[in-house]
Amino acid sequence: KTRTNDKYRVVYSDHQRPELEKEFHFSRYITIRRKKEVAQQLGLSERQVKIWFQKTRAKERKQNKKKEEAMRASGNMTTPKLEPLDSPPAISASHHVHGHAHSPNMGMGMGMSQHH
């Protein structure tokens, strides 16, 4: 919990870090009650615990993104490509609905042109 002189950043002790990591492993999102308990246990403020969790989640997302990009680069193209394709069908389904809504009108238009 010592602050460096040039930067206002908290350096967590060798006792605090493993405890925070253990808590994070248990749950990526800490409850208000648990945050209070951990803060008291480790001699940190609740804000420090909250920010540690936020930064750790961000770090995890960044690492996962790197892994995904590495997999994509290594030629394992199938897995990352399947994910984006899973969501657009919902969008294209709505487009199909619009398409069907337009087709009867087009049919009517053709019917009218045949009458002329």
For residue 3, name the pLDDT band (cuts at 50, 70, 90). Answer: low
Radius of gyration of the chain (CA): 27
Residues 38 and 20 in one domain: yes
Mean predicted confidence (pLDDT) in 51-55: 98
Residue 63 sits in which domain range? 2-76
Residues 43 and 100 in one domain: no
Residues 18 and 68 in one domain: yes
Residues 100 and 72 in one domain: no
Mean predicted confidence (pLDDT) in 49-71: 96
Q: Which is nearest to 34 in space by CA: 46, 22, 21, 43?
A: 46
Q: Which residue has the higher pLDDT, 30 or 78?
A: 30
Determine the pLDDT at residue 6.
Answer: 54
8 Å CB contact between 12 and 1: yes
Q: How many domains are contained in the chain? A: 2
Residues 15 and 58 in one domain: yes
Residues 12 and 53 in one domain: yes
Residues 49 and 95 in one domain: no
Residues 56 and 7 in one domain: yes
Residue 69: CATH number of its domain: 1.10.10.60
Check pLDDT > 80 for residue 100. no
Predicted TM-score (pTM) of the model is 0.57
Residues 52 and 96 in one domain: no
Residues 62 and 42 in one domain: yes
Q: Which is nearest to 31 in space by CA: 49, 7, 11?
A: 49
Residues 66 and 90 in one domain: no
Q: How far apart are CA 69 and CA 19, in angstroms?
A: 31
